[in-house]
Amino acid sequence: MIGLNDNGAPEGIEFKADLTLERLKPRLEEVWRNNEIDEAQRSEFERRLHAHWRPLFEILFRLYGSRYDFFFHIERILQTAAQAWSDRPVELRDLDRHRINEPDWFQSEKIVGGALYVDLFSDNLVKAREHVDYFQKLGLSYLHLMPLFAVRPGNNDGGYAISNYRSVDPRLGTIDDLRMLAADLRRAGISLVLDFVFNHTADDHGWARKAQAGDREYQEFYYLFPDRTVPEQYEATLREIFPTVRRGNFTWHDGMQQWVWTTFNSFQWDLNYGNPAVFRAMLEEMFFLANVGVDVLRLDAVAFIWKQMGTDCENLPEAHLLIQAFNHLARISTPSLLFKSEAIVHPDEVVKYISPQECQLSYNPTLMALLWESLATRQVGLIMQTLRHRHRLPEHTAWVNYLRCHDDIGWTFDDDDAAMIGINAYDHRQFLNQFYTGQFPGSFARGIPFQENIKTGDMRISGTMASLAGLEQAIEEDDEEKKELAIRRMILLHGVTLSIGGIPLLYLGEEWGMLNDYEFVTDPAKAGDSRWIHRPKMQWDYLEELNDHIESGNGSIRNHIFKSTQQLIALRKSLPALAGQNMELINTFNSHVLGYLRIFEGHRLIVLANFSEEVQCVEGNKLRTAGIGRFFEDVIEKKTFETSAPVELEPYQILWLKRV
Ligand code: GLC
Ligand code: GLC
C-alpha cells in the first residue's frame, strides 16, 4: 500500500504514475495503430498526456486506488482518452491549437451568451440553423442549447432525464443535424454550450435497463438498496431537492424490489461514481459530446455527484476530484473544451468549483439572487456586502452572470453576510418569497412558488424576468407608468449583468419581455413542475412586428425591450473595459445606488445603478477619484456629467460612465 505524505498525497505517487504509464505504452500504440494516427498527432497528444498524467493518476488513485480493479480501469481510461483524440475532427483539432494559445478567449467583452430550448425556440435543429442570423442580430456569441438528447417518454425534466447521450431526441432531429448546427455556429463565431448531465441518467437509459434486468455489473452503476435501513441512515443528513415530487431522496422500484437513489425526480437515477466503471463510461459520453463540436459543457448538478454517509452528500471533496479528473482528461484529448459549473449552492461552495483545473466557468447564482433581492428592497446593502468579498475569481476563470434561466430562483446568499448588515436571513427569505409571489403589499412581481417545503417553510420562485419585474401586472392593469417602471427594471438588471465582469447570459425570451406562460398546466408531463411557467415558446411574429415597426415607426413594449437589450449588448461589445473579471465596488453613499468600477488594460468604466423608483443622487467627487477624471459621458444615453455637481439618476436608471 502507498502511505500518505505531508500534503495528503500518496507517497511515491509520481514514480508510480510514471511506471504505470510506461506499462501502458503498448496500449497507446494499439490505439494509434488501429486508427492510423500519424507521428505528429501522436506526439501532440503525448505532450499533453505527460503534462497531465501525474496529477490525473494521483486523483484517480485517491478515488479508486483501493479498488481491486484499479489498474484495469486506468488502462481503459487511457485508451478512451487516446481514442477520443483519434476521433477528433480536424476543425476541432485546429480549434484546440488556437485555444491553447488563447486560453482567456471567454474573458472578452465580445462574449455574450444566450440559452434556449430548441423545441420551444424553433421546433427542431434544422430550423434552428435557419435562425443563426437571429443570434447574430441580437449580438450573441455563446449559445447554450438546453438538453436535446433522447429522453424517457412522458415527464423528462426538461430534457434532464436522458436515455441516450449519443442520440438526439427524434422530435428535434439527429446527431448529424446537431453537428451541422455546431459547424454553422462555429462559422458565425458563436460558441456552442451543451449540458453534461452526469449526476444521473433516466430510468430507461441502457445502463438502468440492464440493472432492471438483473445485470449485477450495471446495478453497480447506481445506488440500490433492498430495504430502508441504509437509505434511512443517509436520509438523516440529506436535504430534499424536490420535496413536492416525493419525500426523501429514494424511490422504490417494484421490478427490482430495490430502493434507488433519486436526488431529483423519481425517474432520474443518481450514478454511483464510487464505481470507476461509471467514471469511465461517462468519460466516453463526455468525449463523444466534445467531438460533436461543443465548446463548453455545462456540468449539471455538480454538487451531488459524490455521496458519503453522515454528510449532506453535497459539495464533497471527492466531487471536486472527479471534476478535476474529467478536466485533466479534457485537457489531454479535447483541449479546447471548457467546463461550466452548475452549483446552485451556498456561495462559499459555489466558488470552490471554479479554477482552471476544475470548472473555468460558473453560474453566478448569488449575484442573480441578490439582483432580485435589491429590486425588491430597493436597497443595495446586501449585494454590496456580498460582492465585496465574493466577486473575485482565480485567473483564467469567469462568472456567467444571468438573471433568469430555465430553473427557479433560490435565495442563495450567505446568512452571515446578511447578519453583518442587520438582516435576519430566515425572515428575509420569507419576505422575498412573499414579494416575488406577489403577496407582499405593493409588490409588482408575479412569480409562483416552486418546491414549497411544508416542513422547513422553504420555497423557491418561478416566473419570467418580465413577470417578476412587474410587466405582467402593469399590462394587466394597463398602467402606463407601471409599464415604464417595469421596463426600466429590466434594462437596469441587464445593464448590471452585461457590465459587472464575466459572461452575461440571457435566457431567450427575455429580449422580448416574455411573460409567464400559464398554459403549462394543460400538459400532464409539465403540470407538476412550475418551472414551465418561465419556459415560453418563441413568438416569431414579434420579430416581424419589429421589422414592420422599423418601417412604420410604430412602437410596442416588446420592440422597445428588444431594441434596448440589443443596444446594450452592442455597447458592451464595444467597451474593452468590460473584458475580464476585475471589478471594484464604489461606495456611492446612497443606499439605493450600486456603484462599481471596471478596469481592463487601462480602460475604465464606472457603473452606477439606481435600484429605486425615486430619483437618486451621487456625489460627483466620488466618481472623480474612482474614474480619475472630471467629465464623464454616460455611453448609454450619451449624456455628459461634470463631477463638480451631484450626478442625478432617474428612477431605475443605470449609467455606464466613461471619462471624456
Ligand atoms: C439541474 C437542472 C435542472 C434539473 C436538475 C436535475 O439543476 O438545471 O433543471 O432539474 O439539474 O437534472
Ligand atoms: C437545486 C439544486 C440545483 C438545481 C435546482 C433545480 O437548487 O441545487 O442544482 O438546479 O435545485 O431546482
User: Mean pLDDT across the stretch 56-75?
Assistant: 97
Output 613 or 624, whichever has higher pLDDT. 613
Question: What spacing in Å lies between the alpha carbon of 461 and ligand 1's midpoint?
Answer: 15
**Inter-helix orientation angle 70-87/13-35, to 10°:** 40
Measured from CB, residues less than 6 Å from any atom of ligand 2 are: 241, 301, 303, 342, 344-345, 407-408, 410
> Cα of 197 to ligand 1 centre, how many Å?
8
Is 303 within 8 Å of 241 (Cβ atoms)? Answer: no
Question: What's the pLDDT at 418?
Answer: 98
- Give me the pLDDT at residue 553, please: 53
Q: pLDDT tens digit string along 447-475? A: 999 999 888 888 999 999 999 999 999 99
Distance 241 CA to ligand 2 centre (A): 7
Which residues make Cβ contacts (< 8 Å) with residue 326, sequence separation at least 6?
283, 286, 339
Q: What is the DSSP letter of 271?
A: B
| Per-residue model confidence (pLDDT) at position 371 | 98
Q: Has residue 5 got a pLDDT over 80?
A: no
14 HSE (CA, 13 A, CB side): 4
Whole-angstrom distance, CA of residue 612 vs CA of residue 634 = 19
Q: With a 6 A CB cut-off, is 300 part of the ligand 1 pocket? A: yes
Give the closest ligand to the alpha carbon of residue 304. Answer: 2
Closest C-alpha to ligand 1, atom 7? 301
In the residue annotation, 36 being an active-site residue is answered as no
pTM of whole model > 0.85?
yes
Residue 623: pLDDT band by 50, 70, 90 thresholds? Answer: confident
pLDDT tens track for 93-149: 999 999 999 999 999 999 999 999 999 999 999 999 999 999 999 999 999 999 999
Q: What is the pLDDT of residue 547?
A: 79
Q: Is the pLDDT of residue 551 over 60?
A: no
- For residue 454, what pLDDT is reported? 84
Q: Among candidates 397, 576, 588, 562, which has minimal Cα distance to 499? A: 576
Cell of 256: 427490482
Rounded to the nearest angstrom, the distance between the alpha carbon of 344 and the centre of ligand 2 is 6
Query: What pLDDT digit, counting tens, does each position of 476-495 carry?
Result: 999 999 999 999 999 999 99
Q: Which runs of consecutive H residues, i.e. helices, occur in 477-521?
A: 480-497
Across the range 529-540, mean pLDDT stands at 95
**Beta-bridge partner residues of 251:** 260
Tell me the ligand closest to 157's alpha carbon: 1
Count the helices and strands in the chain (H runs, E runs). 24, 25
314-353 pLDDT tens trace: 999 999 999 999 999 999 999 999 999 999 999 999 999 9
Let me know: does 319 contact 303? Beta carbons within 8 Å. Answer: yes
Mean pLDDT of the chain: 95
* Ligand in closest contact with the CA of 265: 1
Query: Ligand 2, atom 11: nearest CA belongs to which residue?
Result: 241
DSSP assignment string, 45-98: HHHHHHHHHHHHHHHHHHHHTTSTTHHHHHHHHHHHHHHHHHH--HHHHHHHHH
Report the C-alpha gap between 314 and 42 in whole angstroms.
Answer: 39
Residue 554 is predicted with a pLDDT of: 54
Whole-number percent of the chain with pLDDT over 90: 92
Predicted pLDDT at 245: 86
300 is known as an active-site residue = yes
Express as a percent the part of the chain with pLDDT over 70: 97
